[in-house]
Structure 1
Amino acid sequence: MARVKRGVTSHARHKKVLKLARGYRERNRTVFRVALEKVEKALQYAYRDRRAKKRNFRGLWIQRINAGVRQHGMTYSQFMNGIKHAGIDLDRKVLADLAVREPDAFKVIVDEAQSALAKAVPAAQSSTAQSSPAEVG
């Protein structure tokens, strides 16, 4: 059986890790053992934060929509319910962008949501009033 020398493989692996550790300070970028720990931890942070970024942006979009909607006398939850009843199929990212960059277009959507909500709410109230039993005194 032939002898296997692994110097080339380990050197390539070390180079790969040290390349990922560029920009770190002191021994964190020059010593392989330390750099390996730091690079692994950095990759864990990157994995976690790619998922956290999605949550953070959704929260930001909701805040922007809420701020834009409150200028027109509605709350975020009322607005979302209204656009659902109106059949407007825009996601939060687009709605937030409209609220910030196109306030006039956003106002049209808010008005549509208000009118759809006004039509939907009386129908819901009348159906619950009929189905509730009369109070016995």
Structure 2
Amino acid sequence: MEITSIVVGRAAMNMAISEDRQDEKEIQKRLNARDIRSVAVDFGGEYLVSVKKIIERAVVAAERQGLVSANHVGEGAVAGATHAALEQITPKAVGLNVGGKIGIARHGEHICVAVYFGVGVLNLNEVAVGLAHRSLASVEE
């Protein structure tokens, strides 16, 4: 089966909706068997003041797990996709707190970032999901 951007997006979303570290590791193992590299990172805080920190966490996690190179090409792809995914949840999240997970997956030239957050105040939460894709060379220069 050809691994397309749809497949990589699904992988990123699976990482984002994983319930705990054990679940993450099991999903990662299944994805690695298909040559899809992945990582997930938790996040929580006030949405608007945290957008920069969310993007930074995504970039650092992707670099540490070897999904992208530590240069402007790899970092830019992750940062751009993360920002685009966050734009999808901004209408629900402005002025509120978020908590959840960022999932990132890569295969070849496809990299996807998924965000899965609870949004709200106290226990009055809504759920928000965002997903974005970027293309980059299989080996960044």
Structure having the higher Rg? 1
Common fold: TM-score over 0.5 = no
Q: Which has the higher helix share?
A: 1
What is the TM-score of this pair, normalised by structure 1? 0.26
Q: Which of structures 1 and 2 has the larger relative contact order (alpha carbons within 8 angstroms, sep 6+)?
A: 2
Normalization by structure 2: what TM-score?
0.26
